[in-house]
Amino acid sequence: MSPKYRLLLSILLVVVIYVIGVAGYVIIEDSTVFDAMYMTTITLSTVGYQESVDLHPAGRAWTIIVIVLGVTGVSFAVTAMISLAVSGDINTLIGRRKLQSTIAQLRNHVILCGYGRMGALTVESLRAAEVEVVVIEKDDDLCQKLRELDILYVQGDATEDETLIRAGLMNCSALLASLTSDAENIYITLTARGLRSDMTIVARAEQPSTEPKLKRAGATRVVCPQIIGATKVSNILTRPNVVDFFEVAAEGIELEMDEFIVEAHSPLCDMTLRDAPIRENAGATVVAIKRATGEAIYQPHPDERFRQGDILIMIGQAGVSERLRNLAS
């Protein structure tokens, strides 16, 4: 039995002894309930105050029994409390409550289901981009690793509604189903989409044939490592310089590719590409515009006008994201 359950059992034992003690004084000495409670309290606490009831021999014998039972029960409780403190369960419990409180305060974070090889790399990339991440993982060893890395996590089954809600599903911006089982990823997608219809869900597919099933389940995007790997190998063999260029841009070392959402209050809203000082002040080139309706405009004309909700796809020198945010503000 764990120290926590031993402590709960010992507390229950003390309560039972107290109730029995009160009942004994009421029956044996025919005292009031209040006087019986007083006698039981001073007996169990061994403080030695004046008795409120003139005890008969039977009452004194009952007092001896209550003292013996009470000392045994209290000793058991104290031992369990010390064992709990020494075992570290108190610190663990406090840590879990603090962790859950932190997660409850998050907004627009990303939930990652499964901290495997792909999940670990994804968390590392998102944290480098200063995006808050909450990992759902049920493996004890991986949860210990998450604690050591100071990564927010929820230990549990990602296919359960309660676990997703504890991870902040109702306030997150996106969810990534990254388990190695396609069936579990489909179930997670169905569950998450049932709870939230307005969020982005990215699902991993081990088999290419699973992709349409995940989309039917509600996935916004489906990632198949096999297809991505095969496509990249093919591009390396046929267009190596193009691959090098996009890798440099993706890493944001010399070049950076990023996206920017035109908000209603942004000075870029209702401004043409020609008039917007994006190239001069942010050092970026707009290569595409994705309208809020889903329409994509590649190599937009200089007279193309930005609208509220447009997503600008840009490329420029490293740091373009921060410079554009400063420009928009």
* Cα distance between the two ends of the chain: 59
- Tens digit of pLDDT for each residue in 22-61? 898 888 887 888 888 888 888 777 776 666 667 778 878 8
**Which of 5-9, 104-108, 292-296 ranks highest by mean pLDDT?**
104-108
Of the three residues 228, 260, 292, the one that is the final residue of a domain is 228
Reduce the secondary structure of 18-58 to three states and give it as a string.
HHHHHHHHHHHHCCCHHHHHHHHHHHHHCCCCCCCCCCCHH
User: Does residue 96 form part of some domain?
Assistant: no
SS3 (DSSP) at 114: coil
Helix%, strand%, coil% for the chain, nearest 5: 55, 15, 30
194, two tokens: 């049932």
Distance CA 5, CA 23 (A): 27
Residue 196 CB contacts under 8 Å (≥ 6 apart), including other chains: 169, 170
| Residue numbers of the domain that contains 163 | 107-228
Report which of 303, 301, 308 is spatially closest to residue 328, judged by C-alpha positions. 308
User: Does residue 293 form part of some domain?
Assistant: yes
Of the three residues 27, 53, 87, the one that is the final residue of a domain is 87
**Domain co-membership, 14 together with 122:** no
User: Does residue 95 form part of some domain?
Assistant: no
**Domain co-membership, 211 together with 264:** no
- Tens digit of pLDDT for each residue in 233-273? 888 888 888 777 777 666 655 677 788 888 888 888 899 99
**Domain co-membership, 245 together with 318:** yes
| % of the chain with per-residue pLDDT over 70 | 90
Specify which residues 223 forms β-bridges with.
204
**Domain co-membership, 215 together with 258:** no
- Tens digit of pLDDT for each residue in 87-131? 655 566 667 788 889 999 999 999 999 998 899 999 998 998 889
| % of the chain with per-residue pLDDT over 90 | 41
Number of compact structural domains in the chain: 3
Cβ atoms < 10 Å from Cβ of 30: 12
Lowest mean pLDDT among 74-78, 149-153, 300-304: 74-78
Of the three residues 52, 87, 122, the one that is the final residue of a domain is 87
User: Does residue 117 form part of some domain?
Assistant: yes
Specify which residues 58 forms β-bridges with.
none
In the predicted structure, residue 223 carries a pLDDT above the cut 60: yes
**Domain co-membership, 274 together with 301:** yes
Give the domain CATH number at 212: 3.40.50.720
Q: What's the whole-number mean pLDDT along residues 180-207?
A: 94
250, two tokens: 């993706």
User: Does residue 93 form part of some domain?
Assistant: no
